[in-house]
Copies of this chain bind each other. A is one copy, B any other.
Amino acid sequence: MINKRVLNPAEAVADIADGSSIMIGGFGEAGSPIELIHALIDQGASDLTVISNNTGSGEVGLAALLKERRVTKVICSFPKTLNSTVFPELYREGFTELELVPQGTLAERIRAGGAGVPAFYTPTAVGTPLAEGKEFREFNGRGYLLEHGLTADYSLIKGLTADSHGNLLYNKTARNFAPIMAMAADVTIVQAASVLEPGEIDPEIVVTPGIFVDRVVEVADPAYESELIAAGVSYP
């Protein structure tokens, strides 16, 4: 019998240690695992490296984690969003370091990390400031940069439907980085609106096979950043 269910978000993130690297799914608020992030805020781990496309909005979710001064490095493609004030301050102050990565390179580095590919070549960013310090090489007369696979200790992602084996479905464009982050972390923690029994998800439509998932917690009615911000919430 295999059962990856855990009781609640607090239990799901309980073992995350100071200094951990954590991939956090989401593109803007779509797919952002807010309840897991809030549990991580409550849990207390600090000196974290966060790999995520954005840096959150308002003072909830990822932005709240940053605001609590728990993240010392961010690897992301777009650390500016509407209502994003937390990261800019921490960045200017020098508290949070930024590794800026083009979005497709970020995605491919995560996928490579999960697929056991230590490095690959990409045409993206050749001839730009983001190529600085990177190995350049030509193939068939075109220039490419060497980029390295990216892995993490944990990933926190949001699914729509899961089963107890960890198979996952997503909601629309909330899918974004979640399937590749699930591949690239040692421990993948999922919040899903419903967690079913094995066999209740058609094997033809599984997006993330359970092998990439370690813990599944049911969060039946997840919050959205925009709603929390509109309601004036500042977490915690």
A115, B140: Cα distance in complex, Å: 16
Type the 1/0 row for A4-46, where 1 means its CB is closer than 8 Å to any CB of B: 0000000000000000000000000000000000000000000
- The answer to whether the Cβ of A86 comes within 8 Å of any Cβ in the partner chain is no
Type the 1/0 row for A217-231, where 1 means its CB is closer than 8 Å to any CB of B: 000000000000000
Q: Which residues from B are CB-within-8-Å of A205?
A: 204-205
Total copies of the chain? 2
- The answer to whether the Cβ of A212 comes within 8 Å of any Cβ in the partner chain is no
Supply 24 A–B pairs (Cβ within 8 Å), ascending by A.
A108-B115, A108-B117, A112-B120, A116-B122, A116-B123, A117-B120, A117-B121, A117-B122, A118-B123, A118-B139, A118-B140, A118-B142, A118-B144, A119-B120, A119-B121, A119-B139, A119-B144, A120-B120, A120-B121, A169-B204, A170-B204, A172-B204, A204-B205, A205-B205
| Given A117-B120, A117-B121; 9 other pairs, CB 8 A cutoff | A116-B122, A118-B123, A118-B139, A118-B140, A119-B121, A120-B121, A139-B148, A172-B204, A204-B205
Chain A interface residues (CB < 8 Å from chain B):
108, 112, 115-123, 139-140, 142, 144, 148, 169-170, 172, 204-205
A148, B121: Cα distance in complex, Å: 10
Q: Which residues from B are CB-within-8-Å of A121?
A: 117-120
Q: Which residues from B are CB-within-8-Å of A120?
A: 112, 117, 119-121
A185, B123: Cα distance in complex, Å: 19
Question: Closest B-chain residue to A112, C-beta based?
Answer: B120
Q: Which residues from B are CB-within-8-Å of A116?
A: 122-123
